[in-house]
Structure 1
Amino acid sequence: MRSISDAQAIILDLVQPLDNRRDTEVVDLLAADSRILATPVTSPLDFPHWDNSAIDGYAVQYEDVQDSSAEKPTLLEIVEDIPAGYQPKSAIGPGQAARIFTGALMPVGADTVVMQEKTRREQNRVFILAAPKPQEFVRHKASFYQAGTQLLPAGIKLNAPEIAVLAAAQCSQLNVYRRPRVAIFSTGDELVTVDESLQPGQIVDSNQYALAALVRESGAKPLVLGIVKDEPVALEKVMTHAIAIADIVISSGGVSVGDYDYIDKILESLKAKIHISAVDIRPGKPLTVATLPVVPNPQLPYSLLPTQNSTLYFGLPGNPASVLVTFWRFVQPAIKKLSGITGDWEPVFLKVRSHHELRSDGKCETYLWGRLHLIDGVYEFHKAGGSHSSGNLVNLAQTNALAVLPVGKTLISPQEEVQVLRLG
């Protein structure tokens, strides 16, 4: 049985990020949200594009106003009003000023802006009531960014700030990594779909819906293959298809030691190398991680042809809580690394205060689900109510953190510090 740290290291070592030549596509800027940039971006534009004013006020020559005060104001002639988007017509000479607005071009001859609150205007004259600093409130051309240098590096996730920067740089199309393809299926004779009538002993398959949502949240494309009965021939057929079309395959169920748990045996028959078959974690101990050589299927459309040399396989347990915990802990970091994102793969842990008493038998690293709340400026972990059984899906709703009780730790008292895995 692997420790959690060993399992995480093995999994991340198995993942080879998408190739920045083969595994990319061009998308429009409006479709680039949450995508991973595949090549660095430069711009032919300086930022700011020209010298401009940072406030509403008066553009002046510093020499004229350096000794201004309320007791001894400087009187200047206003020669022009300059709103944003207007190109100044007049140069500013000694004894002159221009009324200027935020973002407007600085006129020739002016080197400083005096904020309007420190002035008094009378018709075409302005009194400067306080001395500004040299070049105060002037945003100089290229002071934020110089044309031709790197604007954004490859390997970053494009969120709203990056999209705004790219729009300002007039980058209408971008080269991004394709979304990793993740095949998902559930195993078990007892499983039915959400629209089937339940018979005694049957269970609705919630796992593939949860996994599809988690895969999308991780920036990948889910390929949902449905429910497969506990029958070796049917399982092998679906597994072979999944391996041929996906970068990562996730199955839920069939990885324990029961008579109808066939996943590991079929993986071995498919020449898989099994790297992990159990992890010292609760919930989620029976976890299979394997790699399989890719055998391209010439009947598949070009868009589904593999670009990786091997497929990473995760055989997750069947219980709903185990599926979610093992995905958050092991699968999500693998998808992030595969996606091309630079150095932001591993789970994020925080040390916070526990609101409730947390218990474990101490035999393995235990994860308890709940929510983080900000109380008086300090984060507290509130354990979800009800049973923390791996089969209890209901109290997982609204989970945004998992409290971690390490091996040997049986009790964390209220107000004691606890390490949590932050989700989302």
Structure 2
Amino acid sequence: MRSLSEVRQDACVASFPRTVEEHRAVVAALLPPMPAEDVPVGQARGRVLAADVVAAVSLPSFDNSAMDGYAVRAADVAGREDSRPVELPVGADIPAGRLDVPPLEPGTAHRIMTGAALPAGADAVVPVEDTDGGTTTVRLSAAPAPGAHVRYAGEDVLAGDVVLTAGMVLGPAQIGVAAAVGAVTVAVRRLPTVLVLSTGSELVAPGTALQPGQIYESNGPMLAAAVEDAGGRAELLRFVPDDVEQFLDRIRRRLDAGHVDLVLTSGGVSAGAYEVVRDAFSGRGVEFGKVAMQPGGPQGAGRVGDLGGVGVVTLPGNPVSSHVSFEVFVRSALRASFGHPYPDRPVVTATLSERWTSPAGRRQFRRGVLDAVHGTVREVGTPASHLLGSLARAECLVVVPEDVTELDAGSPVEVWLLEP
């Protein structure tokens, strides 16, 4: 069996028709690893670390109280029982954040709040629940051992420790620890910018009265949302007419205005007339042809030299074909480009709850609903590539291999989870 790198090398020069794996490799090669950039810690949620985060301070950075209560010397209350509480004078109040914390004299207690610095001389905290809450003197009915309810400096993290490693995805907890150890910014992988276009003179904006032959444009917003959901940055260029020169001019003007990592189009890639995407990019570095899959057979990908070498991926125009093609070819490539540790959708095996037939020689990606309790999956709608309403109800893609033409109910199938 050939390695993945060998498949990718062959795919970069392969002609159509292609296998799914070959075309995936071609698309992935258009998105090299994104460079690093520094972003404020508070704006880094969901980003992938490009460098380790090293603690500038220990956590905790000082000994402090884990409870509201009274800081004491454990020896002063040792051996006391609930029936014989000890009474101590209260020497000071120590709220959280107090800087001038006085030391604790023997035979006294300091009232202390959670997170406040433990005074010198104290080695335990009696929770307020085990006292009478006094402010001048306090009756203590518990006898804590040394170290009780004390958070010691460095018991969580020591200064110089690596608290977050490169390649991690930053969630709330990771952002919290980065901020706690003093990080102002973090180095993360830049997110790829994707210019999304859907072509067709028949497309109009929602809210416009439809004329005969017109439809509301949906692929552009759908693909832009898919890019954002994958973690990229989408820019939607809408209502590009079916005219080669105008099509290329719109793209060129946007590329001249700022960096774009990938141009993603839908529609205009089949073999018929008025296929503006195919007409515009053929001979410019983008190859067009069939991939052995359903839906989404007609595909294109490549780099356009006279547009600065930008990578271009062209998807078919039928909405289900376009969406499935994005899932199969683009989503994982985008996520891999910014170093996401899990670029692919989660995959499980389920049991088919109905009988299916499938065309020979094409890998099918059928829309389904998963019954997680019973481990079964059923189809939503039909395999037709225009049923957007059925796609919206789907929870997963069910994969039928190229060499399988019949599946009986009860057959095991590969399922891609379309998690929200």
TM range (shorter): 0.7 to 0.9
Task: Within 5 Å, give how 1:10-409 maps onto structure 2.
Answer: 10-20=26-36, 24=37, 27-42=39-54, 44-64=56-76, 67=79, 69-70=81-82, 77-87=89-99, 89-118=101-130, 124-129=137-142, 131-132=144-145, 134-169=146-181, 171-173=183-185, 176-238=188-250, 246-261=260-275, 263-264=277-278, 266-272=280-286, 274=287, 277-293=289-305, 295-296=307-308, 310-338=309-337, 340-351=338-349, 357=354, 359-361=356-358, 363=360, 364-369=362-367, 384=380, 386-397=381-392, 399-407=394-402, 408=404
Q: Secondary structure of 2:91's match?
A: strand
Mapped contact 1:73–1:130 kept (Cα < 8 A): no
Q: List runs of 5+ in structure 2 lacking aligned partners.
A: 1-16
Contact 2:192 2:232 in 1 (8 A): yes
Aligned equivalents of 2:225 and 2:298: distance in 1?
22
* Structure 1 residue 108 displacement after superposition: 0.8
Question: Partner amino acid for 2:321?
Answer: S
- 1:210 to partner: Cα distance: 1.1
What is the TM-score normalised by the length of structure 2?
A: 0.77
Distance 2:395 2:51 in 1: 33
CA distance in 2, matches of 1:266, 1:89: 74
How far is the alpha carbon of 1:212 from its aligned partner? 1.9
User: CA-atom RMSD, angstroms?
Assistant: 3.8
Against the structure 1 CA distance between its residues 374 and 90, is the aligned structure 2 distance closer, same or farther, given a 3 Å change threshold?
farther
SS for the counterpart of 1:287 is strand
Q: Secondary structure at the match of 1:269?
A: coil
Q: Who is 2:13 aligned against?
A: none
Q: Cα distance, 1:405 vs. partner?
A: 3.9
| Greater CA drift, 170-179 or 206-215 | 170-179
Change (3 A) 1:131 1:105: closer
Question: Aligned with 1:186: secondary structure?
Answer: strand
- C-alpha separation in 1, matches of 2:210 and 2:91: 83
* 1:153–1:223 distance in 2 versus 1, CA, 3 Å: same
Q: Structure 1 residues 10 and 49 mapped into 2: Cα distance closer, same or farther (>3 Å)?
A: same
CA change 1:241–1:283 in 2 (3 A) is: farther
Give the superposition deviation at 1:252: 0.6
Any idea what SS the aligned residue of 2:223 has? Answer: helix
Q: Which amino acid letter does the alignment assign opposite residue 394 of structure 1?
A: G
1:303 aligned residue: none
What TM-score do you get using the length of structure 1 for normalisation? 0.76
Shift of 1:52: 1.0
Is 1:421–2:420 an aligned residue pair?
no
Unpaired runs of 5+ in structure 1?
297-309
